[in-house]
Structure 1
């Protein structure tokens, strides 16, 4: 009996020792992270990025190849807000994608290290929840991962282009290698302090995809019904009318004039994610921010969620040109589509029978549609610390 007791005692001591070692290996000491991000990052108690609540009616996900982890998104958050990622230490990703504006910009064009951006900065809220996997207004990036480092390598934006006298992206990696908190963060996330573009891309993409908004009046109503077509009990009569107009396709006569049905916004902006249909083409906005020539390659759009704050004020001006400054003006644009010379890429849904659509919305219909779009506004996206600046 004594022999068994001794064996069991020794086995218990061994087990406890192994567990203790495992804990120390999982959460080692990272003094520079602790010192730099005293009030924002605790490596032993990370923010919840990987297991946030997603409503069961949300099914689209373009991030399955790079699943969000708490560690990866934490590194992505630091990278997103760090001005060291620009050549003159003045611009971060967050300079053009501001939490206060649903991660968009409240100016028409954003300021970079060598000028301004060529298009209005797109809001990043709910970027994950879309079938569209390409990014930028013209879809020139095949994935969010690829997109994340393209502004860094742009001469005008963040300045590590390797052209026009700029330093190269390899110079950025050398720069980051000489910042102690990055040595610790990359080790913490990847088990090695080696910094590569792929690791930067994956971490930034995880953080951006973690930015989600599902606490709107729309979501509260959608949880009470079986599908979007049912009246939402928490909606006013006007908001339910706007929802029906948004979801229901229009009926046109031979001239492109609406004679019945709704206004069909959901043909491109699909509920309940309100993401852009990947097959959408140009929406009739063909201007450029510098008023030189036309731009018909813009076929992508961000989610319509958080176009506005809950009080109805716009988070950013709208469209790739940033020239539409109210929901009323945006609705007016789609109410009457004029066929512009040179726009060979206009979406067929906007030109029924070869004619520019004439929705002929009444004032009451326009107001109802606007009221519905306001129901897509959340609140936590503007205040949740997990998406805030870790350097503050």
Structure 2
């Protein structure tokens, strides 16, 4: 090779190396704060898949409405979800009460906020997107997930930007976030502008929460092998199939509300395959409150029964809005003998056959079978997938 050719080859190599280095450093060049803060957790040029996750063909419900999940939007939502800067004293994030290891629920009865403890137990967020009920919170006071997303931030107890009781307002939070370098970059990356608004916060947080899905359970394997839920699942044990049948079939009651035959009717309020709550459901007979005196008969929402327990069968935290049920036996026992409290004017009529609080007259075999079936609704990936984990660790 001539000297001229050697020089030319050297210059080409230097040029290629320069281009390669520019490509490798382009994220740093354009998003230095994101790169420095979330190194190894978020790569804006190689985003996690939030928008195009697969789901079973038999899952048909979807409350996304006008805010479809995007990889960019959900990535921003993930940062917001885990960022303690969203609380007034920088100690609480959404993830403080909705923990990935607990199916995005809390092991505490009442979650700790910046100004005390919450008035209801934190609800699990699994499969929030795949729900027939589009309202959120235990009392369904939020018409959409977008509305719900900023309400804890604006709550005096939870995250402290209520605009009351000496708190700053949501505008105070926005000004705070506007001064954080990685948010300037992320909002421009997602929305084309560094401007932060409550609506943009809501959209991104809702996209991230809706992306959290769990469809790799034993139930899903069995459901994919049959035409409908009423058929025996080939991968189930006899006990699990018995529990499924009890869950699905309605009970037969006598004139006094005592079950004489049939199933347990759980599917009347928690229909498969989503196992979310029926939108027409009223109070379930639990009327206690966590703080103060009185009763709470407005709770009509419930999370999906999917991932109610971990893969080892232990619950992902206490159950009901009061958090006072710690085992599946407690829950089944409650529905097995419904007490009609005199002041509960909102009790679901499905729990009061012939005007009496239902008595399911359960046997130990039936209880064990139902528990065995509920355990089949638990997946594995949602507990460990890094795209739903904290980007700050």
Q: Runs of 5+ in structure 1 lacking a partner?
A: 1-22
| Match of residue 90 from structure 2 | 89
| Match of residue 112 from structure 1 | 113
**Offset, 1:32:** 1.1
**Offset, 1:192:** 0.7
| Match of residue 30 from structure 1 | 31
| Match of residue 206 from structure 2 | 205
* TM-score for both structures, normalised by structure 1: 0.93
SS of the residue 1:328 aligns to: helix
State the alpha-carbon separation in 2 of the partners of residues 361 and 244 from structure 1: 14
Q: Runs of 5+ in structure 2 lacking a partner?
A: 1-22
| Match of residue 239 from structure 2 | 238
SS of the residue 1:316 aligns to: coil
**Offset, 1:175:** 0.3
| Match of residue 100 from structure 1 | 101
CA RMSD of aligned residues (A): 1.3
State the alpha-carbon separation in 2 of the partners of residues 270 and 204 from structure 1: 27
State the alpha-carbon separation in 1 of the partners of residues 343 and 380 from structure 2: 41
| Match of residue 376 from structure 2 | 375
| Match of residue 270 from structure 2 | 269
* TM-score for both structures, normalised by structure 2: 0.92
Moved over 3 A (4+): none
| Match of residue 248 from structure 1 | 249
State the alpha-carbon separation in 1 of the partners of residues 310 and 166 from structure 2: 42
**Offset, 1:64:** 2.5
| Match of residue 48 from structure 1 | 49
Q: 2:179 matched to 1:178?
A: yes
State the alpha-carbon separation in 1 of the partners of residues 330 and 134 from structure 2: 28
State the alpha-carbon separation in 2 of the partners of residues 108 and 63 from structure 1: 30
Q: 2:323 matched to 1:322?
A: yes
1:226-281 Cα shifts (integer Å, max 9, x gaps): 10000000000000000000000111111111111100000000100000000000
| Match of residue 286 from structure 1 | 287
State the alpha-carbon separation in 2 of the partners of residues 193 and 257 from structure 1: 62
State the alpha-carbon separation in 2 of the partners of residues 301 and 118 from structure 1: 16
**Offset, 1:379:** 0.5
State the alpha-carbon separation in 1 of the partners of residues 217 and 79 from structure 2: 28
State the alpha-carbon separation in 2 of the partners of residues 290 and 245 from structure 1: 36
State the alpha-carbon separation in 2 of the partners of residues 340 and 116 from structure 1: 27
1:353-383 Cα shifts (integer Å, max 9, x gaps): 1110011011000000000000001111110
Q: 2:136 matched to 1:131?
A: no
SS of the residue 1:260 aligns to: strand
State the alpha-carbon separation in 2 of the partners of residues 289 and 36 from structure 1: 38
State the alpha-carbon separation in 2 of the partners of residues 297 and 164 from structure 1: 25
1:25-74 Cα shifts (integer Å, max 9, x gaps): x9882111111100110000000000001100000111132100000000
SS of the residue 1:244 aligns to: helix
Q: 2:81 matched to 1:80?
A: yes
Q: 1:230 to 1:65 in 2, by over 3 A?
A: same
SS of the residue 1:269 aligns to: coil
**Offset, 1:291:** 5.5
SS of the residue 2:183 aligns to: helix
State the alpha-carbon separation in 2 of the partners of residues 210 and 370 from structure 1: 28
State the alpha-carbon separation in 1 of the partners of residues 135 and 180 from structure 2: 32
State the alpha-carbon separation in 2 of the partners of residues 340 and 201 from structure 1: 38
**Offset, 1:338:** 1.1
SS of the residue 1:367 aligns to: helix
| Match of residue 12 from structure 1 | none
| Match of residue 161 from structure 2 | 160
Q: 1:291 to 1:164 in 2, by over 3 A?
A: closer
**Offset, 1:290:** 2.4
State the alpha-carbon separation in 2 of the partners of residues 304 and 155 from structure 1: 30
SS of the residue 1:233 aligns to: coil
| Match of residue 226 from structure 1 | 227
State the alpha-carbon separation in 1 of the partners of residues 261 and 280 from structure 2: 25
| Match of residue 151 from structure 1 | 152
Q: 2:188 matched to 1:187?
A: yes
